[in-house]
Structure 1
Amino acid sequence: MVIPSIVLNFLFPPPSSLFVTTMTLVSFSSLTNAGYKETKGKNMQYSKFLNVGVAKKEKEIKETKLSSRNGMFLFYAPSFLVGLTSFFIFPDQDLRFVLLVSALTVHFFKRVLEVSFIHKYSGSMALESAIIVPMSYTLSTATMIYAQFLSREVPEPLVDLKYVGIGLFFIGTIGNFYHHWLLANLRKKGDKEYKIPKGGLFDLVICPHYLFEILSYVGISSISQTPYAFSFTLGTIFYLTGRSYATREWYLAKFGDKFPKNVKAFIPYIF
C-alpha cells in the first residue's frame, strides 16, 4: 500500500509491544476526547477553569483542593524524574535516544522551574486534576522513552528528522517560556485579578504558549520518529486546540467588549 510505505519513510515500524500499542490508542483517544470536552465547557479543573462548567452538586462533592502552585508542581515533577532516571536505567544508548530523553527532561525541568520561580498563582486546583494530569504526563513520558528503547531493534526511518526536531524543540521551548514570562509579569506582587495578556504573540492569539508547546512536542516527536511519539503529539494538538478555544471563550465572557475580537485562540488570523 502506498500510504504505509510513505509513512514508514518517516517513522520506525510499530514495536511488537502490547503495552506500547495500547498506550498509543489510549493516549490519542483520551487527549482527543479531553480536547472535545474543553470545547463543550467540561474543562479540566485547574487555573482559571476551576469550577467553570461544574454543577453545584459536583462542587459540593469534590471539595478537596490543592494550592495551584503545589498542584502544578505535581503536574511536571514526576515526568522530569522519569526523564532523569532514564539515563541510568537505559545506559549506553544511541544518539537519537539520548536526544529524546534530554529533550523530555529539559521540557519538564523548565516547567518545574517556571512553577517554582516564574508563575504567579491566585487560587487552587481540584484534587482530581492534580491526580489525572500527572498520571497522563508520567505515563506518556515513560512510554515514549520505552518505545524509543524498543526501536533500537528495527531499521532507522529513511528520512532522518532528529536534527529538524532539535531546532523545532528549542524554538518551541524558548517561545513557550517567553510567553509564560509575559503572563507572569501581568500581575504585580499581591495582585490576583486576571488581565488580558499583551505583548509577543498575545496581540494576535490568546494562547501563544500553547502554540509553542505544540511546536516543542512536534520537535520531540521528530527527534523520536516513533508512532507513539507522533500519536501523543497529535492528541496533544487536539487537546490544546480545545483548551485554547475554551480559554478564548472564557476571556470573552469575563471581559466582554474589552477583549479584542481580532485576537484568535492560538493560530494567528485563523483560529
Structure 2
Amino acid sequence: MSSTIKVTPRSTRKPIKNLPTSTNITDQTTVEDVKIALARQANNMDHNRLGLYDAKKKILRDRRALIRKNKDVFDAQEIFVKDLGPQISWLTVFVIEYAGPIVIHLLFLPLRKYLYSSNPPLSSSQRLSMAMIIIHFLKREYETLYVHRFSLGTMPVRNIFKNSAHYWVLSGVNIAYWVYGPNSATAKSSSTINAWNTVGLLLFIFAEISNYQTHLTLSNLRTPGGTERGIPKGYGFDLVTCPNYFFEILAWTGVLMVTKSLGTVVFLIFATGQMYQWAWKKERALRAEFPDRYKKKKTVLVPFLAI
C-alpha cells in the first residue's frame, strides 16, 4: 500500500535545489530508498549527502530501517531533509587516518639526521617502539578492510581532516619526534629498561589479541552490508560496555612502557578521554534500544572501576 508524506527542508539557510515537497512510500520503503528517490529528483545529487530527520528533528541513521516503522515520521506524515555536504566512505577515512602514523614513523628513519643534532643508530628500544606502533596500525588497517562492518556508508569529507589530525599528529609526529631522538629514554640501554620493554611487549601482545577478539564479536552482530544492532556478549563484554576500548588502552600502555615518552602519555590521555565519551554513548544507546534485555553497566571502560 502506497502513501504520500510531506518533505520539508531541515534548514532554510541551505536549500536543496529541486527538492520535491512530497514523496511516496510503501510498507517496504527504507530510509535509503527515500534518500535515493529524493536525490534523483534533486538534480541527481549524491544520495549520501542527504540527512533525513523525523518530526523531533532526530536524524534517521539506520539506512535499512523502514520509514513506516518510525512512529514520529508516521504520526506527522512528514520527513525533514538536510544537505550534509560532500561525503566520503568510512572505510576510506579509516584507511587514510591509520596509514598516516605508519608512514610518519617510517619517515623518521631517513629524516633523523635533519631533525636532531646527532644521528646514532636506533637503539633496540627505539626499534621495538617503532615496530609496535606500526604493527598496531597495520592491525587497524586489516580490521578496517576485513573485520569491521559499518552501519553508515559515508561521513562528511571535512571529518577526514579532524580524524587524521588526531592520529597523524598525536600518535605520529608527536610520539615519533620524542622517541627517536638521540637523547630520549629509548636511546639508552640498561637491564631495567630491557625489563620494562619485556613487560610492555607482553602487555601489548595480550591487549592487541584481546582487542581483535572483541572486534570480531562486534562484527558478528551484523550481517554483511546490514545495519542491525545487537547486544555484544562474551569476552570482556560482561565486564564493561566497550572492552575493545579497554584493550586499546592496555595496548598503548604497553607501548608507553617501551617508549617511556611524555609524547605517548599525551596521546594516551587524549585517546582515553575520547574513548570514555564513546563508551558512555554506546551504553546509553544500548539501554535505549534494548530496555528489557540489556543489563545496564556502571563500568563502561575499565573493569571494576566506575568509569
Mark yes or no: TM-score above 0.5.
yes
Match in the other structure for 2:133: 104
Rounded to whole Å, the distance in 2 between the matches of 1:258 and 1:126 is 34
Larger-Rg structure: 2
Rounded to whole Å, the distance in 1 between the matches of 2:106 and 2:289 is 41
Instruction: Please tell me whether residue 181 in structure 1 is matched to residue 216 in structure 2.
Output: yes
Match in the other structure for 2:157: 127
Rounded to whole Å, the distance in 2 between the matches of 1:156 and 1:183 is 41
Contact 1:83 1:102 in 2 (8 A): no
Contact 2:214 2:235 in 1 (8 A): yes
Match in the other structure for 1:65: 87
* Cα distance change, pair 119–263 in 1 and its aligned pair in 2 (3 A): farther
Match in the other structure for 2:35: none
Match in the other structure for 1:149: 180
5+ residue gaps, structure 2, are 1-52, 60-80, 113-119
| CA RMSD, Structure 1 to Structure 2 (Å) | 2.7
Rounded to whole Å, the distance in 1 between the matches of 2:235 and 2:155 is 28
Structure 2 SS opposite 1:203: coil
* Cα distance change, pair 175–88 in 1 and its aligned pair in 2 (3 A): farther
CA offset at residue 263 of structure 1? Answer: 7.0
**Higher helix fraction (1 or 2):** 1
TM-score normalised per structure 1:
0.71
Instruction: Please tell me whether residue 80 in structure 1 is matched to residue 102 in structure 2.
Output: yes
Rounded to whole Å, the distance in 2 between the matches of 1:258 and 1:153 is 51
Rounded to whole Å, the distance in 1 between the matches of 2:179 and 2:240 is 34
* Cα distance change, pair 98–203 in 1 and its aligned pair in 2 (3 A): same
Q: Tell me the percent identity.
A: 24
* Cα distance change, pair 157–94 in 1 and its aligned pair in 2 (3 A): closer
Aligned length: 217
Rounded to whole Å, the distance in 1 between the matches of 2:270 and 2:257 is 15
Q: Which runs of 4+ in 1 moved over 3 A?
A: 59-62, 84-91, 153-159
State the AA in 1 paired with 2:181. Answer: L
Contact 1:79 1:137 in 2 (8 A): yes
Rounded to whole Å, the distance in 2 between the matches of 1:149 and 1:219 is 17
Which structure has more RCO (C-alpha within 8 Å, separation ≥ 6)?
A: 1
Rounded to whole Å, the distance in 1 between the matches of 2:280 and 2:188 is 38
Match of 2:203 among 155, 168, 173: 168
* Cα distance change, pair 185–239 in 1 and its aligned pair in 2 (3 A): same
Range with greater deviation from structure 2 (190-199 or 261-270): 261-270
TM-score normalised per structure 2:
0.63
State the AA in 2 paired with 1:134. Answer: S
Contact 1:118 1:181 in 2 (8 A): yes
5+ residue gaps, structure 1, are 1-50
